[in-house]
Amino acid sequence: MINFNMHLLEEHTSNTAEFLNILNNKSLTIQFQPIVHFQTGCTYGYEALSRGPEDSYFHSPSTLFPFAKSKGLLYPLEKIARELAFEESKKSIKHGKLFINLNSEVIYDTDFNPGHTISLLKEYSLTPRDIVFEITERSAISDFTAFKCVLNHYREQGFQIAIDDAGAGYSSLQAISEIMPDYIKVDRSLVSGIDQNEVKESILEAFVTFSNKMNSKVIAEGIETEEELEKVMKLGIDYGQGFFLARPMNPVKGITESASNCLEALKENYNKTGKTVEVHIEDEIIFLRGVTEVKRVKASELAFS
């Protein structure tokens, strides 16, 4: 038992040393995954994803960031990841929003400085309007008042806000209603197999309804099949990301040929199913996005040229 504990201690010490070395040398790699606008087939923006060195224990972000949190070093790690994302984006991205992850817990770090991001943007000739902060929902937000105060500071400067992992973390609906995000990124656990799961379909419809009421955009994460893409489009979602559309990469490229062909075919199919309907002046016209009602207007209130 003593030898076993000594082995664990040595392994823990080795991992800590390796992690600190990554921090000191800023030896992260940055990749960008496209976020696609379905109606145009164009890339709307890119999510910046951080990785540790290729041959490292910390290569996966699912290991890297939890370890940083356990050591009280999450904020320093996020600062470095953000700086490298800005630097790499200037080399690779010509247009589109840059989505940057912001863990909700870093605002409680005593070293947290909201002004740091602005100084970085100036250094890389970016503006706040280029940036969307993705607030991860996998950890509970303990103080919404303090958190909203920080987000308001960012918004006043021109940054936009996204709720990430919606539907997979803590208090999804509360976070959405409190933060009123510009984007709602639905977690891949709800998107995976949605074409065969009516419960997931109903949950996603609820997110679309929330987004319409708040003027937010829904982004479906983790789209991996043509069937999933078709289903989220039918539900009225206009944006998405996932391996079927494009994998994370650096330098960036366009969406896959199969995704491009699929989007074109789906748009053609929707256009063919369109029908001319006779409307009387006393009728009420219902506008839909997918299957979701957007608004109702009396025909008499519409102006026809």
The reply to whether 193 falls in a domain is yes
The reply to whether 8 falls in a domain is no
pLDDT of residue 169: 62
pLDDT of residue 6: 44
pLDDT of residue 2: 41
Distance between CA atoms of residues 122 and 149, nearest Å: 23
- Residue 233 near residue 38, CB atoms below 8 Å: yes
The reply to whether 47 falls in a domain is yes
Number of domains in the chain: 1
pLDDT of residue 281: 60
- Is cis: bond before 248, omega within 30 of 0? no
The reply to whether 288 falls in a domain is no
pLDDT of residue 1: 40
The reply to whether 292 falls in a domain is no
The reply to whether 285 falls in a domain is no
Residue 231 is which amino acid?
K
pTM above 0.85, yes or no: no
The reply to whether 4 falls in a domain is no
With CA atoms as reference, report the closest residue to 244 among 227, 254, 256, 252. 256
Q: What's the gap between Cα 186 and its chain centre? A: 8
pLDDT of residue 36: 96
Structure tokens at 111: 């070293």
- Residue 56 near residue 39, CB atoms below 8 Å: no
Structure tokens at 190: 């709800």
With CA atoms as reference, report the closest residue to 260 among 245, 240, 278, 281. 245
pLDDT by 10s per residue, the chain, length 305: 444 444 444 556 788 999 999 999 999 999 999 999 998 899 999 999 999 999 899 999 999 999 998 898 998 999 999 999 999 999 888 889 999 998 888 877 767 776 788 888 988 989 999 999 998 755 667 777 888 888 888 899 999 999 998 887 655 677 788 889 999 999 999 999 999 999 999 999 988 988 998 999 999 999 999 999 999 999 999 999 999 999 999 999 889 999 999 998 887 776 655 544 455 565 666 665 554 556 667 666 665 44
- The CATH number for 178's domain is 3.20.20.450
For residue 43, give its domain range.
Answer: 20-273
The reply to whether 282 falls in a domain is no
Identify the DSSP state of 216. P
